[in-house]
Every structure is written in structure tokens, then in C-alpha cells.
Amino acid sequence: MYRNVVLEHPEVVTQLHREFIRSGSDVVEAFTYYGHREKLKLIGKEHLLESLQTNALKIAKAAADEFPELNLMVAGNVANTNIYDPADKQSHIYCQKMFEEQIGWAKDAGVDFVIAETINWTGEAQIALKAIKDAGMIAVVNLAIPAGPFGDKTRDGQSASEACKILEDHGADVVGLNCYRGPTMMKKLLPEIRKSVSCHVAALPVPFRTNEQYPTFMYIKDEGCDCIDGNVSHIALDGLTCTRFEMGNFAKDCAEMNVNFIGICCGADPHHVREMAVSLGRKPIAYKYYPDMNKHFAYGNDKQLKEINDSKYLKP
Ligand SMILES: [Zn+2]
């Protein structure tokens, strides 16, 4: 239902773009993720597909245009269709058509590049990549690596680095990972990817504390939440959210690994992005509001603060 906000409350989407831009985003990605024909058919809104896509693209472009001094890039996207089946050739044709129409709208809107993302089949990613390149666009292709019975592999059985190499060999300009994994579980896959390709590498984890037991946020449990038996799915992950500093450290680690397209996926908040930008040595517009904890009544050391509130009186 959230996609309808593009038509019903476009001003809210614009404001969200502005917040991420002010926090340091270099890329304004249109709010088109998962708004494809198959998903919209599933929710009975296929008739809204084109207007949702084109309006989201228009909103992203207009938001970027508000900050000409930042030289922002605008991206369109295609994503997991959920109908791809390696054994069903017809599904490949249907995927290709879905990708082509979305890429067409993105190209007409004048985006700088197209991101194919959250795809867990190398085969499906290749179809998306081909559609982007056939349209003459720059292609960023990001895989979501599940943690199913076959381990850290794409659904068709390649390691993340093998799949990224295949995508680079087929013309991707940027390859990497997004979604599913939190920073720690994504980071462990990155050195191999960096070694296997020579193009730019992308890393956009979810800002949640996934771990060896639950490498992805898909079926993670929150032991601290007993009201729903810890089964947090996608809508109760709050208790597992990373701090801004965990995300800042992730950005720094990526830069050290020469991972050069750094971001966050589902669950990103502007304060995460700002900390990532700051940790990379940037001072985004919202740096103006960066917290100065030295003046906090309890945590700070500023001489103007009252000694009566010192931590020794407040700490348990
Ligand atoms: Zn995501």
C-alpha cells in the first residue's frame, strides 16, 4: 500500500528525499522499488503501475533539482520479480518485459543510471543487466544473498563473488550486494567480491543486527520481544536496529576495502546516512545539526555544566 503515497501524498516522498540528500546521499533513487507489474497485480493495482512509476521518477528528479550545488545523481530501479524460475523459460521472457518497461520509464525521466537490486538469482540479475545495457544505460547490479540451506550463495548456487564476476563480465558497471544482510554479515562477503572484479563494488546492507545464527533479516528472531514470539518479519525489526555508529563504521570499513558505492537498504534513516557521510570525511548539509554531546547535561564535559548532574550521581 505504501506505493500509493507517491500519488496520494507526493509531498511526503519529496520530503523524504530531501532528508536523505541533506544527510549526505549522492544518489536520489526514485521510490519505485518493487512497484512492478507482478507485485501490483498481486495487490490489485496493476492499473496504477505506470502512474506510480512515472510520478516516483518525477518526484526524485525534482528533489535532486532543488540542490544543484550538490551535483546529485538520480537513479531508477528494477528489482526481484518473484516470478523468475530458472527452469521456466517463459518466466524469463516475462521478467525481461517487466524490466524493459520500467527501464523505459526511468530513461524517459532522464535518470543517470539504473539499479537492479535485491535479486537473489544470478540468472534473473543477468536478465535485468541485459535490459539496462540494451537501453544504453549505466547498470548497477546488486544481489541479495540469502542464507538458505545452501549457505551464502545465490539461489542458483554461485558464491557472491562468482555471481558478481559473471555480472561484470556481462557488462555491469557496478556490482555488489544490497538488502537481506546487516553490516556485519554483508561485510564478510565483500573482500572476495572486491578481489574477483575490477569494476566498482556496491554494499548496501539493512541497518539491522543480523548475525551468524540469522545472517539475514528475513527470518531473524528478536529474543527481546516476546509479544510475537520473537518472529519480527519485516515490520517489527525495531529492537534489532543498528546505531548510527555501527553504520558509520561500516562505511569506513567499506572505503578501506575499496568498496565504492556505499549505502543502506530497508530500514535506513537519515541519521544513519549522515553518520556514514561524516565517517567518510564529509560534512553534509545536516552536519549543522550534528549532536554535540559534550554539552549534554549528563554525558558532557563542558565547563558550563552543573557538577551535580555528573554521571557518578546518575549511573546505576
Ligand atoms: Zn532492502
**Ligand 1 centre and the CA of 101: distance in Å?**
22
* Å from CA of 251 to ligand 1 middle: 17
Band (89; pLDDT cuts 50, 70, 90):
very high
**Ligand 1 centroid to 247 CA: how many Å?**
15
Distance (Å, rounded) from C-alpha 265 to C-alpha 7?
23
Distance 144 CA to ligand 1 centre (A): 8
* Residue 91, beta-bridge partner list: none
pLDDT of residue 211: 95
Give the Cβ contact number of residue 267 at 10 Å. Answer: 19
For the residues 43-72, what does the mean pLDDT come to? Answer: 96
pLDDT exceeds cutoff 60 at 225? yes
Q: Which among 110, 100, 117, 102 has a CA at the least distance from the CA of 60?
A: 110
Distance 208 CA to ligand 1 centre (A): 11
> Which cell goes with 308?
551535580
Quick one: pLDDT at residue 186?
98
All three cell numbers of 156: 542458483
- Strands, DSSP E only, in 155-255? 174-178, 200-204
Which range scores top for mean pLDDT: 40-54, 67-81, 229-243, 298-312?
Answer: 67-81
Residue 302 CA to ligand 1 center (angstroms) comes to: 41
Enter the DSSP assignment of 242: P
Give the residue from 80, 40, 33 showing the smallest Cα distance to 57.
33
CA of 47 to the centre of ligand 1 (A): 25
Longest CA pairwise span in the chain (Å): 73
For residue 203, how far is its CA from the centre of ligand 1 (angstroms)?
11
- Cα(310) to centroid of ligand 1, in Å? 42
Residue 115's DSSP bridge partners are 77, 140
The Cβ of residue 27 has, within 10 Å, a number of other Cβ atoms equal to 18
pLDDT digits (tens, 9 = 90+) for 171-188: 999 999 999 999 999 999
Rounded to the nearest whole angstrom, what is the distance from the C-alpha of residue 180 to the centroid of ligand 1?
A: 6
State the distance from the centre of ligand 1 to the C-alpha of 240, rounded, in angstroms.
15
The helix/strand/coil state of 29 is: strand
Region at 110 (left for phi over 0; alpha for psi -120 to 50; beta for the rest): left
176 backbone dihedrals φ, ψ, rounded to 5°? 170, -150
Report whether pLDDT(1) > 80. no
Distance from the alpha carbon of residue 313 to the mean position of ligand 1, in angstroms: 43
Using pLDDT thresholds of 50, 70 and 90, give the confidence band for residue 17.
Answer: very high
Q: Is the separation of the CB atoms in 237 and 269 below 8 Å?
A: no
Note the pLDDT of residue 73.
Answer: 98
CA 206–ligand 1 middle distance (angstroms): 6
The pLDDT, as a whole number, for residue 104 is 98
**CA 264–ligand 1 middle distance (angstroms):** 8
Distance from the alpha carbon of residue 314 to the mean position of ligand 1, in angstroms: 39
Q: Are 78 and 103 in contact (CB under 8 A)?
A: yes
Instruction: Report percent pLDDT > 90 for the chain.
Output: 85
For residue 2, the model assigns a pLDDT of 57
For residues 116 and 126, give the distance between their C-alpha atoms in angstroms, rounded to a whole number: 10
DSSP state of 289: G
In this structure, what C-alpha cell is assigned to residue 167? 555480472
Structural domains in the chain, CATH included, are 2-283 (3.20.20.330)
The reported pLDDT for the residue numbered 143 is: 98
CB 274 within 8 A of CB 23: yes
Q: Identify whether the C-beta of residue 26 lies closer than 8 Å to the C-beta of residue 64.
A: no
Please tell me the distance between residue 217's alpha carbon and the centre of ligand 1 in angstroms.
Answer: 9
Strand stretches in the chain, DSSP E:
27-29, 73-79, 113-119, 139-143, 174-178, 200-204, 261-262
